[in-house]
Chains A and B, each alone.
Chain A
Amino acid sequence: MRHAISLFVTLFVLWLLLSGHWTDPLLLTLGVVSAALTVFVAWRMEGLDHEGVPINVSVHALVYWPWLLGQIVLANLAVARVILAPDRMSPRLDWIPATQRTEVGRVIFANSITLTPGTISVQLDQRRILVHALESEGIDDLKAGDMDRRATWVESPLHAEPSGRGDGA
């Protein structure tokens, strides 16, 4: 039920933002109906669970994304430097550990790796990810595990202590 309400609210807010109809009662009713219909279809397809509507992930992502954006900017500068001076390049392919327990968590971690320029996740295993890096340091940074801890925190239940901050990273 929690998931159904959360999905309904998200869908209706998205509908409001995309349509911009705040006042017309008929259109608002139709918006509510279409959001409710989508929730019904998701329920029929058995997508209304922790994986289809990950509430804890959505909340934690609000903390995680700004940090990730910062990393993306830093990595962009590093890759731009390599493009201007290809001699600095030291491509490397290696496995790095991944400690996420859920599939959603592993997808978040692998997507974060790929989204950060200079590192691409190539294959996911149960406990590790194969990563191609443009510079050898990219793999070293991932092996240090800061991003891994943060991605694990994103998949953790709500009210868990934020990890990956200040614990030696």
Chain B
Amino acid sequence: MSLILDILSWACIVVGGIFCLLSGIGLLRLPDVFTRMHAASLGDTLGAGLVLLGLLLQAGIGADLVGVKLILILVFLLFTSPVATHALAHAALLDGIVPWTRHGRPPDARLAPEDPDEDGFLADARDDLEAGTTAPRPPQES
């Protein structure tokens, strides 16, 4: 029984490691920031997931509840990593990076104009961009 568990857990860890490796290869190999983010998400999901699953099979739930903590790590990872990815992609597009395409023309779809009244932070970022500075703006006199 413990032999089967060992084999399963090592298979998970090794395959998870392979996905992390592929993720790294993709980071080097793909052409621009957006496609590279797709490669990075490989390590975030199946890479981390399989390694944690393998560790879970090794540890079991355990008297000190190690397994529960491993599961919680995975849950929090799956909740937080897409938020960071979304913010990074949005910032890159907002900053004027044109996504790489196979035919070489920029994609037709663009960011929708934000309502400046609705999101003050974005309006500030755009103003800074147009002024050619990213320094915080001086406080407004009232």
Residue with the greatest number of chain B CB neighbours at <10 A, chosen from A91, A114, A122: A122
A32-58 to B contact mask, C-beta < 8 Å, 1/0: 000000000000000000000000000
Q: Is the interface of B mostly helix, strand, loop or mixed?
A: helix
Interface residues on B, range: 35 or more
Consensus secondary structure, chain A interface: mixed
How many chain A residues sit at the interface, stated as a range, is 35 or more
**Residues of A80-124 contacting chain B, CB below 8 A:** 80, 82-84, 86, 89-95, 110-112, 114-115, 117-123
Residue in A73, A80, A121, A123 whose CB lies within 8 Å of B22: A80
Q: Please indicate the chain B residues that have their CB under 8 angstroms from the CB of A92 in the complex.
A: 101, 107
A95 in contact with B38 (CB, 8 Å) = no
Contact among A17, A83, A86, A114 with B86 in the assembled complex (CB-CB below 8 Å): A114
**A18 at the B interface (CB under 8 A):** yes
B85–A120 touching, CB < 8 Å: yes
Pick the contact of B90: A76, A111, A122 (CB < 8 A): A122
Task: Report yes or no: A118 in contact with B38, Cβ–Cβ below 8 A.
Answer: yes
Of residues 4 to 48 in B, which have CB atoms within 8 Å of A's CB atoms?
Answer: 19, 22-23, 25-26, 29-32, 34-35, 37-39, 41-42, 45-46
Are B111 and A123 in contact (CB-based, < 8 A)?
yes
Q: Chain B contacts of A17 at CB under 8 A?
A: 65, 68, 72
Kindly state whether residue B120 has any CB partner on chain A within 8 Å.
no
Q: Which residues of the partner chain B approach A122 to less than 8 Å between Cβ atoms?
A: 86, 89-90, 93, 111
A130 within 8 A of B: yes
22 A-B pairs within 8 Å (CB atoms) are namely A17-B72, A72-B45, A76-B19, A79-B26, A80-B19, A80-B22, A82-B38, A83-B29, A89-B30, A91-B32, A91-B34, A91-B99, A93-B34, A111-B79, A114-B82, A115-B82, A121-B86, A122-B89, A130-B111, A132-B99, A134-B35, A134-B38
